[in-house]
Every structure is written in C-alpha cells, then in structure tokens.
Structure 1
Amino acid sequence: MNVENPSSALEVTQALIRCPSITPEEGGALDLMESLLKPLGFNCHRLLFSCSDTYDVDNLYARLGTAGPVFGYGGHTDVVPIGDADAWTVNPFAGAVVDGKLIGRGAVDMKGSIGAFVAALTRFINSRSSFDGSISLIITGDEEGIGINGTTKVLDWMTDKGERMDVCLVGEPTSNDKLGDMIKIGRRGSVNFNLRVRGIQGHTAYPQLARNPVHPLVAMLHNLLAEPLDSGTEHFPPSSLQVTTVDVGNAATNVIPAQAQANFNVRFNDLYSSEQVEAWVRERLSRAGFDYNLTVRVSGESFICPPGPFSDLISSSVKTVTGLEAVLGTTGGTSDARFIKDYATVAEFGLLNDTAHKVDEYCTLQELDDLSRIYQSMLEGYFKV
C-alpha cells in the first residue's frame, strides 16, 4: 500500500486504517510502516515472537542513527474488533473523511498518533541534513491483546542487542476535552480478583441442613467496599475497587446454592504495590470469618515518571501549537508505558480518547494535523535544531 505524501498525517493514518490489523493480525500495517521508515534511513527489524498457549505476534523495531541521545516512540498498530458492522456509518477500514472527521477503527487508538508521528518524522528528517542523536520506534501488534509477545519481548530483544532509549513517547489517546489538555506521566496499577465461597446446597425451607455461600460473600464484599483504600496522592486519584460480577448460577428460587463468586478489579496508585493491594483485600475478606478461595491476576504495577525535562518538552510543544497548558495526569487504564518505564523516561500523549473502541471511532482532521505539529516540535526541541 503506497502513501503518496508521507509528510501528511492524514494520508499515513488513512493508509494504516485500511490495514485490518485486529489483534493479533498484522493486516499489512507493519509492512506499511517499513515502507515509510526505510526511505528515511531507518534500519527496520521485524520481530515475530511466540509463546506456548498464546498467538504469535509480529512487531517492528526501527532506528535511525547510532549515537545518543535516543528519542523513542512506542505505539501499536493492532486494533480492537469493530463490533456490529451495521452500526457503523462508514466502512470501519476505509479511512473515510466525513465532515472534517477521519472515521475508522484505530483512528484514535492509536493509528492516528502513529500517522501523526511518521508524518512529523518525515518533515523533521527531510528538512535537515543531520541531527545529533538517534530516533527509534517500537511498534507492536499486541497492545490490545494479552501483551505477552509484544512490547515486553521487544524490550528484551533491545537489551540483548545493546539498544536503548533515553526517553520514550507513547502515543496513546490521552486528551480529554481538547487536544493537549492532558499528558500522562504515569498510570495506576491494576489487579483482578476472583473470589469464591463454597457452601452446602440445600432446600430453602431447611436452611439448617445447608450452608448458604451467598451470605458470607455479601459480607465480604461489604467489607471491601465499606472504606476506601486511600484519598489519592499528588499525581494520582484515589485507588478504586470496582465489583464487576456477582454470580451464583442458580435458576431455582427454592434452592440454596453450593457456591457463589464475585469478580472485582482494583486500580491503585503509587501508595501500593500489587502485593500490598492483595494483602489489603485479604485482610478485609478475613474479617467476615468465612473460608474463601481468591485468585489474583496482576495486569500492571502503578508507576510515575516525575515531572522533568521530558514532560516539560511535551508541555511546551503543546502550548506552542494549541496555546493550552497541559495537565500532567495518571488517569485511565493500563498501557505499554508500564513496560517501557523500566527502560526509559516515558510519557504518553495523543489524541482525544472519547471515541476509542467505539462505533464510528474518529478524530478531526484539525486535531490530527495539530498532533503531528506537536510531535515535530518535540523532535526539534529534543535535538535542539
């Protein structure tokens, strides 16, 4: 797939949207990226990673230059499924422009950011004969999936090869109401819990001959919800526990069930590690005085890259282009920044997030162009050219 004008964020993003790269399918998106980066002088490495019991994932690492400092960009070309195709007003993989909006799956999350960055790169590189330092990109096909064969393994590969980044911009959609109103310098951690309580099945008319597991489950959930984990920190909102399911699987009105279960998720700030969150949960569950089984799955730890030169660079670029004073935040879900922060100073900045994963996902053409100009300003400011 050819892009006639790679310095146009719109044309690059349209071409990416036209690649049906639903996780874990590559869909031609990484092939397109290579075709755009190689003419700029990037050395490209396609990295296919495998693991038992999971799907294979194709990834791309590209680098221009050999010296430091190294400006990194992290992104993903994979997208979530389209859902009900009939609910879309356009073909979700056509990259259609309607009334000043680019509509398509991935327009916001996050092919728009990648398109804006590649266009900014093209203009930056073509406008000068050289610059002091290097630029590298990590583009994965597994951010919207289970995240096993994607960014984490690319980072391991980089370590083995002696590759590094000093800073890394992750292009997730971070803006809330206007482009540039938020830069994310950290993320909350996330832990998922499955709580099971076993009882003895019996007739509701003879409760003395049974043991109802629903009652202690309700008591345990009450203990979890009765008091908050904390009231927040300087850069984080309060930690949050949200019950997502309560299940008994009992269709009869006169049967005491044998088992009851609940799922809940905790999004936690920098006051906790996942182990401390689990300890907090178990202490409150034990207050009910009943036996239980708890399964714990950690999605990521909380982290923050404190405000400094990199966040200042992004903020100044945002203000130059939009006039806005960006807020430094940590809201939202997890992203691959949780992996990259162990290798480089990381911050996230991208388009508005309000249509991500929705039917008729879109960004405006003005937002896309402004984002690309912000990214170019960042490159110019970082390399002081």
Structure 2
Amino acid sequence: MPFDDHGAAADHGSGHDLRHHGDVDAADGLVDFAVNVIGDGPPPWLRERLVATLDGLGRYPRADHDARARAAVAARHGRDPAEVLPLAGSAEGFALLPALRPRLAAVVHPGFTEPEAALRSGGVPVVRVLTDAAAGHALDPAAVPEEADLVVVGNPTNPTGVLHPAADLRALARPGRVLLVDEAFADAVPGEPESLAGDPGPPGLLVFRSLTKTWALAGLRAGYALGDPALLARLGAPRPPWPVSTPALEAIIACSEPAAVSAADQKARELAAHRVSMTTALAAVEGVAVVSGPAPYLLLHLPDGTGEPVRRLLREAGIAVRRGDTFPGLGPDHVRVAVRPPETARRLVEALDDALRRLGAAA
C-alpha cells in the first residue's frame, strides 16, 4: 500500500466492490444480521402519520411541507432552518457530493463505501485514509492529507463501530475544506455523544443524518443534511424539482419531534444492552475476535481463511451476515453483524460456533 507524505495509508484505485451493501447478503427467508435497520418496519404511530399523507399524493410535495420539515429538524438540533436540507436519504446527499467540485477527496476507511463510490462516479479524485486496526481503528487527524479539500468520515463508523471524539473531527476542519461527518447511526447511540449535528462549527462542516436505521424506513428514503446555508445551496444545486417525497417529508417532521427523539433514545438504550450480551456471547466462540463500539452492529474477525466458508455455512443454516471484504482496510475474514435481541442473537452464536467447529474438523 503506498503512503502519502502525511503517513496516511493511501489507495488511489478502487479495488473493492464499493456498491455492495448488506441488502445483497440478506436474501428472503434468512435471519437478517446483514442489514443494520432496526426492526421490520416503522412503529404504529409513525405508520399512521405516513398513511395520512397518501390522500395528498395527487399533488406535488408542497413548499410549506418542506419548510415544516426544515423547522422540525432545526428545533431538534438547535439550528436555524436555513441550515437544514431535507434529503431522500443520506444516499442522495452522497450522490450530490461531486457538485461541491472538490479537487481531492479523502475518505476515511474502513467506512461506508457509498460516498467514495459516488465521488468516483462523479470524476472526483479520491485518496483513502486507512485507520489502524491495532489502535482500535481510531482516527488520526494528522493522517488526512492537507491538500484534501473534502474529507468524509462516519461517526460512529460503519462497519467498525468506532465513535470518534468530536474534538478529533473538528481538528480536520480547514479553511477551504468541506468536512462531511456521516451520522447515520448517531441516534442509535444513547445520548448521541460526540455528535456535531447541533454544532454550526466552521462554514465547511456538513453533517448527514438518516432516518433509515432507527425507524426502519429503508424503503422510504428520508434524511437530511446540516450545514452552512451557502454550502447546502452548492450541494443541492443539481437536484431536480421536488426531490423529497411528501411521505418522506412527513417522516422527517415526525421523527424530529420531542416524543420521537425520546423514543429513539430509549430504543438506543435497549440496543446497548443487547450489544453487551451479544458481544460477550460472540467473543466466547473460539477463534472469533469482536471489534465492539457503541454502534448497533459488531465487526467480527474470523480465523484466517474461514470467512467465505463460514458465510456459506451460515447461509445454509438460514442466517445472513454482511461480508467485510468490500470495505477498504478489511479482508475476507471480516464480517459485520447487526445487533439483535438475545433470543435472535443466540441463533447466530450457535450457528457460528458450529460452522467453525465443522471447518476445524475438516482441516
């Protein structure tokens, strides 16, 4: 792996299937540990709010509905409505990044691969900054090249689960640089520590939030960006008219209200308890190393050479996990698993233990 002058491990080629996501691994009929969506669908109260929008689908999304969504998000994070841009999911925000015309984008890996895929598709040069597994995949701000005028980092990072200190993220800000912090899983961490969503920060700070995970809205596509109004205007310049649907705008409003924020925090606390028990059980499986952070997923490092056969045996046992080798910085013996309740997690633990024993017996 070549290194740049700042000591960051840099990979200027692709070399990975950056468009591979967990939904590809989660075939129908399998117990899904591959996708990090929490639950099978939105709760009844949110479902009712969404259903109530259906009678208005004969009209284009209304400007006042968009304004209400901006106001709701602004109130939730203590921002000005002008600092909010509703999105058709964070993925839309990533697709818009080339509109910022960066000369060089630095993407911190292992991390969500869609930002890099979107940047490369838009003709933007990308340098990969790899975190150090031996250091717990912590972020070293000094590893990011000074010449990068766009930096992308997840917090908590997917798939490592690392929650980077807000101070380390702020240290990446520079005049003339856009710093994008992807907080897709921030509301799945109790209290949302280290979040920059409520921090106007420097003019170049962008924060993306998704409603997909906590509220099981993957099929709806709803999220938002937070940042300086001028920066949001540049980001949104190439969008078509009415980019966010009426139901998605209603979801943004509903999930930003105080009762929903409180419910999300309670759900995050339940997940935290599930994560502790699941981590303990998985770590007891011989040969399995667990990279555990506060996120609603765990990164597993399996014994050398067992990644692909373990995934195959798990599928035969009716279980889907997320392969890790499509993430730069990880290899074929890494898998990511979503945190699930103990009764569901037990199936994974037992199947994983059985798979590794069978492979050991066959060796």
Query: Which TM-score applies when normalising by structure 2?
Result: 0.25
- CA radius of gyration, larger in: 1
Greater helix content:
2
Query: Which TM-score applies when normalising by structure 1?
Result: 0.24
Greater strand content:
1
